[in-house]
Chains A and B, each alone.
Chain A
Amino acid sequence: MADERLEYHIYEVFAQESQMAPAVHQFSLLASSPDMALILAKENFLRRQKAWSVWVVRRDHIHRTGPAEAEMFDRMDKTYRETEGYRYLKEKWRRYKQEPLTAQGMT
């Protein structure tokens, strides 16, 4: 009991709607300990909303990139890495099914 001051921290609260659901960020709150953050999360925000599990994490325990680092996610056109980049395949298949493959350009 050396420290006489009560230290409050911001906690980020996540909740899972069911056992298989992802933990989704809900809100943040101020609490003096993780166990206190859990009970406060329940009484403050999870009275009406369906929840299966709630997680609390001290905000200063979360490591994140800031606005300055947002550029690292910029990239050149690399649609071949996404399904979007293969949209033309559908049209291609349709055409091949209609017109049996012939040796084009070979006359």
Chain B
Amino acid sequence: MTARIETPAQALADPTCRQALVELLFQLADDDLVLGHRDSEWVGLAPHIEEDVAFASIAQDEVGHAAAYYGLLVDLGEAESADALAYSRPPDAWRCALLLERPNGPGHYLENPQFDWGYTIARHYLYDLFEMVRLEALVESAYLPLAQLAAKVRREERYHLLHMETWVKRLARHSSVSRARLQAGLEKAWVDLYGLFSLGPEGPAMAALGLLPGGRDRLWQTWRERAQTLFAEAGLPWPGDPSPVMLDGRAGRHSADLEALLGPLTEVYRLDPTARW
């Protein structure tokens, strides 16, 4: 039985707890902001207008969730504002998994985008299922403000997951072309998959303190069981357990893709960091 931590002050009183909690919140916030940004890069490019609007709306949800997690970090004294956390950190201060920082495909949003819908759906589904499993653990978090926020975020994430599941089943079952593209996307995402389940150096403390009940093992086991169910339903072969990755985003080690993403993400903020919006 782990002790309940009801306020930021209680979390700050114990340095071990503070450190594990801050790392966990950065993982949650950075995952959502980075993927939300990737989603926003589909605006005007998605396969059809209804999906374009839906994806933009999912992007907004993800960014909104990130803002809420940054808010909890502000309460813990990590910065003055959520904006400062989102827009002024160097790449090695980011804690997102590599899977989420990868571009949507070759090209650039503004120049000759050759984005890959198969990869986009594959990556988003794998992440949304992970996020759902993580939120289910977080609603039981020992840190009360996080447990309360997780319950709210989970309501919206249920529909993101449903959206991606619908697409996965559609692409898998529709035609040989759509199926091949989805499978290529899953293969590509699988390369980074291991890193999604990393909780970084503070992982054991997160589990031991009950901040993320069950820790990595619970996430991985629950995730695998549910993913395998959907793969079977969609008639997709299970690609096997993912192999460990070279770079652990949870430890602040990132690909050049993150730096490329942070440029456009932070450019307006950098014009005048003191501006009030």
Contact = CB atoms under 8 A, between A and B. Distances in A.
B276 interface: no
Contacts, number: 46
A47 B175 contact: no
B217 interface: no
Contact of B176 (A4, A6, A30): A4
A39 B51 CA distance: 10
Contacts of B50: 29-31, 40, 44
Contacts of B174: 1, 6, 32
B170 A39 contact: no
Contact of B58 (A3, A4, A5, A43): A43
A4 B181 CA distance: 14
B173 A1 contact: yes
B179 A1 contact: yes
Interface string A1-26: 10111101000000000000000000
B175 A44 contact: no
Contacts of A44: 50, 53-54, 57
Nearest to B163: A39
B166 A4 contact: no
A36 interface: yes
A47 B163 CA distance: 14
A18 to B, nearest CB: 18
A42 interface: yes
Nearest to A44: B53
B51 A47 contact: no
Interface in B162-190: 162-163, 166-167, 170, 173-179
A103 B228 CA distance: 90
Contacts of A29: 50
Interface residues of B, number: 21
Interface string A28-52: 0111110110011011100100000
B177 A4 contact: yes
B57 A43 contact: yes
Contacts of B177: 4
A40 B51 contact: yes
Contact of A43 (B48, B54, B167, B170): B54
Contacts of A43: 53-54, 57-58, 159, 163
A47 to B, nearest CB: 6
Nearest to B49: A30
A91 B121 CA distance: 70
A40 B175 contact: no
A39 B162 contact: yes
A1 B163 CA distance: 22
A85 to B, nearest CB: 47
B166 A35 contact: yes
Contacts of B58: 43
B154 to A, nearest CB: 16
A39 to B, nearest CB: 5
Contacts of B53: 43-44
Nearest to A6: B174
Contact of A6 (B49, B57, B175): B175
A40 B54 contact: yes
Interface string B35-78: 00000000000001111011001100000000000000000000
6 contacts: A1-B176, A4-B175, A36-B167, A39-B166, A40-B51, A42-B159
Closest 7 CB pairs of A and B: A43-B54, A40-B50, A4-B175, A43-B57, A44-B53, A39-B163, A29-B50
